Chain A
Amino acid sequence: MTAKLKQFFVKTGISVKNFFLGIGNGFKTLPQRLKARWNAFVSFLKNADGNVVASCLLMGLGQLFYGQWAKGLIFLAVQAVFVLFFVFIGAKGLVGLFTLGTVESNAWYGVEGDNSVIMLLLGILSVIALILYAVVYVANVKDAYKTQCAYDSLKTPPTFRKELSSLLDRNFYKVALALPILGVCVFCVLPIVFMILIAFTNYGGTTVPPKLVDWVGLENFGKILTLSDFAPTFFKIFGWNILWAVLSTFINYFAGLGLALLLNRKCVKGKVFWRLFPILAYAVPGFITLLGFKFMFSYGGPINYYITQAGGSAIGFLDIDAKWSSRLIGLAVNAWLCIPSSMLLATGILSNVNGDLYEAARVDGAGPWKQFTKITLPYVLFATMPVLISQFIANFNNFGIFYFLRGGLYIDGYFLASDTDLLINWLYNMSIDNNYYSIGAAISIVIFVVTSVISLAVYVMSPSYKQEDTYQ
Chain B
Amino acid sequence: MKKLVKHPRRLFGVAITYLILLLVAFVFLFPILWLVLASFSKSGSLYSFRGFFPTEYSFDTFVKLFTDTEMYNYPRWFANTLFIAVMSSLIGTFLTILTAYCMSRFRFKSRKALMKTTLLLGMFPSFMTMTAVYLLCTQFGLVNQHWGLILIYSAGAPMGYLTQKGFFDTVSVSVDEAARIDGANNFQIFVKITLPLAKPMIVYTLLSSFVWPWSDFILPKLLLKKKELWTVAVGLMSLDDTEFSRYAAGSVFIAIPIVIFYFALSRFLISGLSAGAVKQ
Q: Which residues of A contact B (CB under 8 A)?
A: 117-118, 121-122, 165, 168-170, 172-173, 176-177, 179-180, 183-184, 186-192, 194-195, 259, 262-263, 265, 267-268, 272, 274-275, 277-289, 292-293, 295-296, 300, 302, 305-306, 309, 336, 340, 344-345, 347-354, 357, 379, 382-384, 386-387, 389-390, 393, 397, 399, 424, 427-428, 431-432, 437, 440-441, 444, 447-448, 451-452, 455-456, 459-460, 464-465, 468-469, 471-472
Contacts and interface: CB of A to CB of B under 8 A. Distances in A.
Nearest to B267: A272
A180 B99 contact: yes
Contact of B47 (A184, A296, A300): A300
Nearest to B115: A465
A168 B185 contact: yes
Contacts of A351: 270-271, 274
Given A170-B186, A267-B17, A432-B127, A306 B132 contact: no
Interface of B: 13-14, 17-18, 20-21, 24-25, 27-29, 31-32, 34-35, 46-47, 49-52, 95-96, 98-99, 101-102, 104-106, 108, 115-116, 118-133, 135-136, 138-139, 151-152, 154-156, 158-160, 162-163, 166, 169-173, 185-188, 190, 211, 214-215, 217, 233, 236-237, 247, 251-252, 254-256, 258-259, 262, 266, 269-280
Contacts of A177: 98-99, 102
Given A274-B25, A469-B169, A344 B269 contact: yes
Contacts of B155: 180, 183-184, 186-188
Contacts of A353: 280
Contact of B169 (A259, A350, A472): A472
A397 B123 contact: yes
Is chain A's interface secondary structure helix, strand, loop, or mixed overall?
A: helix
A447 B247 CA distance: 36
A268 B156 contact: no
Contacts of B13: 267
B159 A397 contact: no
Contacts of B27: 336
Contacts of B272: 348
A289 B233 CA distance: 12
Contact of B122 (A190, A295, A390): A390
B34 A292 contact: yes
Contact of B119 (A309, A352, A459, A471): A459
